[in-house]
A and B are shown apart, each in its own frame.
Chain A
């Protein structure tokens, strides 16, 4: 299936969960990343269970603390 990950179209197999996608995408500091699925927040309790469907769009929003 085709999904959009942080703005880029990617091919993943059906049934993948958000947690599996986080692993596959090598997301840095996964405990501290905010995830949206089709522009809605995914709660941390849903990360293991939420299944991604064809055409879904996922964003990983990272903490950026610098400014100095």
Chain B
């Protein structure tokens, strides 16, 4: 693939980087990243990945844009209220960079559709807002051996962790065995979240995808990055592999995807 003059200019700040270069930019243009959730985390991730020239970006969400989304979901604007989020996201991404092929999935993920959706992608970003979806994405990606980046945000805090299909790398289920019971742990709808938190953590997810595609640096595997905005602490907690993990161990007890009961922001109104 030869770059056009316009592409050389558009991606010049990437190409000049020793760890990216023409080769890395080519990998980005050939890369396929799926973003599940076109909300707080998905919005900045989708915008930066589109700007970066990730060639194919899938975006999955069944919701429509709501006024209460706009405090943090910067990919959508006030005139987008009422529009499907995936459509609004696609318009913004293509306005940022027409090089990008955006594939929309106007659906929530379940055990019945997730394998078909993730199958064709190199890397998955979890930008969902509920534990059933987070466990489903973990399990599906582990079973399909597709690398992914988990993230969660609430109030002034965020967390992030990447999984790749290598034997020593712990998955989300190594850390958290199963979803908490409904309403046991507050959601961001109940507890609130600073909009910029979604920006910071969503951008870190985009960075993980870019590092994965280009091969630059180290991925956030075997560690949970924890950000506390109130104290300005960015920490990495070391995460061991659970040799008895239900899904990523040598003898997994979970071999079928599970649809846990929904307890999310989605159930609003």
Using a CB–CB cutoff of 8 Å, the interface residues on chain A facing chain B are 6-7, 29, 31-32, 34, 36, 39-41, 59, 61-68
Cross-chain pairs A/B with CB under 8 angstroms, 17 sampled: A6-B226, A7-B235, A29-B185, A32-B180, A36-B239, A41-B174, A41-B240, A61-B175, A63-B176, A66-B153, A67-B42, A67-B126, A67-B129, A68-B128, A68-B187, A68-B188, A68-B264
Q: Other CB < 8 Å A-B pairs besides A32-B180, A41-B240, A62-B157, 7 of them?
A: A36-B239, A61-B224, A63-B185, A64-B159, A65-B185, A66-B154, A67-B126
A65 to chain B, nearest CB (A): 5
Query: In whole angstroms, what is the CA distance A66 to B41 when docked?
Result: 9
Among residues of A, the one whose C-beta sits closest to the C-beta of B198 is A67
Contact B188 A66 (CB under 8 A): yes
Chain B 90-133 residues near chain A, CB threshold 8 A: 126-131
A26 to chain B, nearest CB (A): 15
Q: Give every chain B residue within 8 A of A64 (Cβ-Cβ).
A: 152-154, 157-159
B40 at the interface (CB under 8 A from A): yes
Using a CB–CB cutoff of 8 Å, the interface residues on chain B facing chain A are 37, 39-42, 69, 126-131, 134, 151-154, 157-159, 174-176, 180, 184-185, 187-189, 191, 193, 198, 224, 226, 233, 235, 237-240, 242, 264-266
Query: In whole angstroms, what is the CA distance A61 to B128 when docked?
Result: 19
Contact A34 B188 (CB under 8 A): no
Q: Give every chain B residue within 8 A of A39 (Cβ-Cβ).
A: 238, 240
A17 to chain B, nearest CB (A): 20
Other-chain contact of A67, B69, B127, B157 (Cβ < 8 Å): B127
Among residues of B, the one whose C-beta sits closest to the C-beta of A64 is B152
Contact B184 A68 (CB under 8 A): no
Among residues of B, the one whose C-beta sits closest to the C-beta of A34 is B175
Contact B175 A65 (CB under 8 A): no
A31-B184, A32-B184 given; A67·B40 CB < 8 A? yes
Other-chain contact of A65, B187, B198, B226 (Cβ < 8 Å): B187
Q: Give every chain A residue within 8 A of B153 (Cβ-Cβ).
A: 64, 66-67
Query: In whole angstroms, what is the CA distance A64 to B152 when docked?
Result: 5
Q: Give every chain B residue within 8 A of A6 (Cβ-Cβ).
A: 226, 235, 237
Q: Give every chain A residue within 8 A of B37 (Cβ-Cβ).
A: 67-68
